[in-house]
């Protein structure tokens, strides 16, 4: 069945052919590098056929994977990590929530697999890819999540050849091809045209061997298109708005065309699915190896390409050595004419069978008896072959930049410092692979920060992950009580944020290093255990370490206890209540003191009046006695307030140290 492609499909087919043609050389070499890496085609086909016809060995001792793994496993130990920082009107606390959300997205997606696959393809063939998708949280929800997924076959991706940025962020289009069977196609798209061809086939993505004769090729097609036109206005205070209102002080204006990304799934004749991608970049992230521009043409290559010839040399000399040693017992016998007459079958099988003896017929020439038959032996040049193999091995190390110290083998260096220096040279020689991966992950961070406000745009509770791996549930885009009487809104839909990438050991590796260093310090100064034991135990990774650290922290001297600002909310609330009670009692004391002063002034005035009026001494003494009783009552009141205030403070402190809640 056939159909005439519409304009969208025709443009897609033209772009695909343009890309396949532009990338042909790179794809051919990348495919060859990958086949060579897995041990295929390490011998020239003509030489291999010739040697096989003569029953000569064509051995493959593939040493290249150990060099590749040295780079990829180093990347696994020192994973690039994303950090979110606020810019312009961004908020620091929201940036921390975004960073925790990004970690959750990576963890929930098993993003490590995506990074590892891309890095492996980058080091082997010069380029790898991973991608970002969105999907519903579950079958009964309208909320979506962002996911990071691997692209296993890097040759299934076709990018705009005009893109010049190392992260392809300026690409106009991209394709990801896949094969699908007829049954699956009809199930997914029952009302669409079934076309059994390979319209989107290119080098490295030939029709899959698993598919039957009715397999077909479809493709995901990303296209950056022009959206609506808007006018931007700059106000006198630097603010930029997209709507002109009368009375505004406008100092500059310009018209811009907003870009948008359209995603389609297409066959060779029609669009199968179509929707607008919420982000502003094509969500396919490349990870490049060596990226070289020569006469306007891009060349991509990895570690394998320059190591092919040394590996071929190594295979040849291993095969030659094996062949020479194996054939040594088959050296021919020299016998005079007639000596093996009657015993020919035994002598012809002498190199295959272990005969107890080899009979021969004594023969004389001119009356002189000829010696017994003997084997013609020759010493194979094994030593020279070993030297050639060693040279091929050294050439592999030179082309990859990885020497014995990096591979864990013995070398000329004897001191640990010299060994580490040589190992570091190997790391530096291939650091551009890790650095390029870091750039790609930074672009991933930009894509995520662009997507999060559009996917997580409604009030919901999200999981965030800290650098130490601990997780918390945080409400976003809605008021949340962070302290008694204090509310915050972690609004991830507003504000601007940027991304930085940190490359180094993982948090777990840092903890192990901290534990080792602390162990050495405590061994040299055991007295530190009394003041730093909790920090030592915190960095240990075994069940119960955290609880033990909390108990040790409570036993610290008061001056080393955590500051009040880090007290948990429950304890802080109890302390606030106690302080409020103390404040109320203090106010009551001040009121009583004021009343006392008023009474004292009143009594003194009465005493003075009584004296002036020549009242009796008894009356004066009575008034003094009344005043003394009142002062005694006031003293009791003061003592009562003092005791109650102290009890309130002690109660607050007790709730901190004895209430089972440890300040963090």
| Same domain membership, residue 585 and residue 515 | no
Distance CA(425)–CA(423), nearest Å, equals: 5
- Name which of 30-34, 410-414, 584-588 the model is least confident about: 410-414
Across 8-28, b (16+ Cβ under 10 Å) vs e yields bbeebbebbeebbebbeebbe
| Same domain membership, residue 595 and residue 526 | no
Last residue of a domain, one of 221, 256, 277: 277
| Listed residue (539, 456, 442) closest to 491, CA to CA | 456
- Residue 586 in any domain: the answer is yes
Distance CA(482)–CA(387), nearest Å, equals: 72
Look at 545 and 142; give whichever has higher pLDDT: 142
Contact 645, 582 (CB under 8 A): yes
Containing H/E element for 294? strand 290-294
| Same domain membership, residue 187 and residue 270 | yes
Distance CA(173)–CA(14), nearest Å, equals: 12
Per DSSP, the residues of 193-218 read: ----S-TT--TT-PPPTTS-TT-EEE
Q: pLDDT per residue over 147-184, tens digit each? A: 999 999 999 999 999 999 999 999 999 999 998 888 88
Distance CA(473)–CA(462), nearest Å, equals: 6
Containing H/E element for 471? strand 471-476
Last residue of a domain, one of 277, 312, 338: 277
Q: Which residues contact 323 (CB under 8 A, 6 or more apart)?
A: 56, 57
- Residue 331 in any domain: the answer is no
Per DSSP, the residues of 565-627 read: GGS-HHHHHHHHHHHHHHHHHHHHHHHHHHHHHHHHHHHHHHHHHHHHTT--HHHHHHHHHHH
What residues are paired with 261 via a beta bridge? 224, 277
| Same domain membership, residue 233 and residue 259 | yes
| Same domain membership, residue 641 and residue 584 | yes
Q: Which residues contact 390 (CB under 8 A, 6 or more apart)?
A: none
| pLDDT at position 656 | 47
DSSP letter at 366 equals T
Distance CA(215)–CA(209), nearest Å, equals: 10
Is the pLDDT confidence value at 597 over 80?
A: no
- Name which of 179-193, 351-365, 394-408, 532-546 the model is least confident about: 532-546
Q: pLDDT per residue over 321-379, tens digit each? A: 888 776 655 667 788 888 888 888 888 887 667 788 888 888 888 878 888 888 776 66
- Residue 77 in any domain: the answer is no
Q: State the residue range of the domain holding 612.
A: 565-657
| Same domain membership, residue 624 and residue 557 | no
Q: How confident is the model at residue 212 (pLDDT cuts 50, 70, 90)?
A: very low
CB atoms within 10 A of CB 124: 26
| Listed residue (453, 442, 443, 460) closest to 495, CA to CA | 453
- Residue 457 in any domain: the answer is no
| Same domain membership, residue 572 and residue 557 | no
Contact 418, 411 (CB under 8 A): no
- Residue 445 in any domain: the answer is no
Q: How confident is the model at residue 204 (pLDDT cuts 50, 70, 90)?
A: low
Most confident of 229-238, 441-450, 459-468, 579-588: 441-450
Structural domain tally of the chain? 3
- Residue 52 in any domain: the answer is no
- Residue 478 in any domain: the answer is no
| Same domain membership, residue 652 and residue 576 | yes
Is the pLDDT confidence value at 653 over 90?
A: no
Last residue of a domain, one of 252, 277, 302: 277
Kindly list the distances between the CA atom of residue 258 and the CA atoms of 1, 60, 250, 364, 581, in Å, as whole numbers in the listed order. 40, 56, 22, 105, 60
| Same domain membership, residue 535 and residue 611 | no
| pLDDT at position 199 | 63
Across 292-326, b (16+ Cβ under 10 Å) vs e yields eeeeeebebbbbbbbbbebbbbbbbbbbbbebeee
Average pLDDT over residues 606-627: 61
- Residue 237 in any domain: the answer is yes
DSSP letter at 303 equals S
| Same domain membership, residue 583 and residue 544 | no
């Amino acid at each position: 069945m056939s159909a005439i492609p519409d304009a969208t499909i025709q443009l897609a087919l033209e772009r695909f052919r343009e890309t396949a043609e532009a990338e042909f050389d790179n794809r051919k070499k990348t495919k060859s590098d990958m086949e060579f890496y897995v041990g295929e085609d390490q011998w020239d086909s003509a030489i291999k056929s010739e040697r096989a016809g003569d029953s000569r060995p064509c051995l493959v001792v593939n040493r290249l994977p150990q060099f590749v793994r040295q780079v990829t496993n180093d990347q696994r130990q020192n994973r690039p990590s994303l950090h979110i920082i606020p810019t312009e009107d961004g908020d620091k606390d929201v940036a921390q929530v975004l960073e925790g959300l990004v970690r959750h997205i990576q963890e929930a997606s098993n993003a490590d697999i995506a990074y590892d696959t891309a890095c492996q393809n980058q080091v082997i063939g010069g380029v790898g890819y991973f991608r970002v998708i969105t999907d519903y949280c579950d079958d009964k929800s309208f909320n979506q999540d962002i996911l990071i997924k691997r692209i296993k076959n890097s040759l299934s991706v076709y990018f705009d050849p005009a893109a010049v940025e190392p992260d392809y962020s300026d690409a106009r289009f991209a394709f990801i091809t896949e094969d699908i069977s007829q049954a699956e196609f009809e199930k997914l798209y029952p009302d669409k045209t079934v076309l059994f061809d390979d319209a989107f086939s290119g080098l490295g993505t030939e029709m899959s061997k698993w598919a039957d004769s009715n397999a077909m090729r479809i493709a995901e097609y990303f296209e950056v298109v022009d959206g609506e036109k808007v006018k931007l206005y700059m106000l006198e205070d630097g603010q930029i708005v997209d709507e002109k209102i009368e009375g505004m002080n406008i100092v500059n204006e310009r018209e811009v065309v907003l870009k948008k990304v359209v995603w389609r799934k297409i066959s060779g004749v029609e669009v199968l699915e179509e929707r607008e991608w919420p982000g502003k970049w094509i969500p396919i992230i490349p990870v490049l190896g060596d990226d070289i521009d020569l006469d306007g043409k891009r060349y991509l290559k990895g570690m394998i390409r320059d190591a092919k010839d040394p590996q071929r040399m190594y295979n040849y000399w291993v095969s030659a050595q094996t062949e020479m040693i194996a054939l040594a017992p088959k050296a021919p016998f020299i016998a005079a004419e007639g000596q093996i007459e009657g015993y020919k079958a035994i002598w012809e099988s002498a190199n295959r069978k272990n005969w107890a003896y080899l009979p021969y017929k004594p023969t004389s020439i001119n009356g002189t008896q000829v010696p017994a038959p003997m084997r013609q032996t020759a010493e194979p040049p094994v030593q020279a072959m070993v030297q050639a193999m060693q040279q091929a091995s050294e050439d592999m190390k030179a082309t990859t930049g990885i020497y014995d110290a990096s591979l864990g083998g013995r070398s000329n260096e004897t001191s640990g410092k010299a060994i580490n220096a040589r190992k570091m040279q190997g790391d530096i020689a291939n650091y551009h692979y890790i650095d390029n991966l870091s750039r790609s992950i930074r672009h991933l961070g930009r894509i995520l920060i662009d997507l999060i406000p559009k996917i997580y745009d409604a009030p919901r509770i999200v999981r965030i992950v800290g650098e130490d791996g601990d997780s918390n549930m945080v409400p976003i885009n809605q008021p949340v009580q962070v302290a008694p009487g204090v509310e915050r809104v972690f609004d991830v839909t507003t504000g601007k944020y940027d991304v930085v990438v940190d490359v180094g050991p993982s948090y777990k590796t840092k903890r192990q290093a901290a534990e080792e260093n602390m162990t050495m310090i405590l061994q040299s100064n055991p007295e530190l255990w009394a003041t730093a034991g909790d920090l030592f135990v915190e960095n240990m990774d075994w069940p119960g370490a955290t609880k033990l650290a909390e108990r040790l922290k409570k036993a610290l001297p008061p001056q080393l206890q955590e500051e009040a600002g880090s007290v948990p909310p429950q304890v802080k609330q109890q302390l606030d209540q106690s302080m409020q009670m103390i404040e109320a009692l203090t106010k009551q004391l001040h009121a009583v003191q004021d009343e006392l002063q008023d009474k004292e002034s009143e009594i003194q005035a009465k005493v003075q009046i009584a004296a002036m009026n020549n009242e009796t001494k008894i009356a004066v003494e009575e008034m003094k006695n009344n005043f003394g009783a009142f002062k005694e009552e006031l003293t009791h009141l003061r003592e009562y307030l003092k005791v109650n205030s102290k009890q309130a403070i002690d109660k607050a402190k007790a709730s901190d140290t004895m209430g089972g809640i440890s300040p963090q």
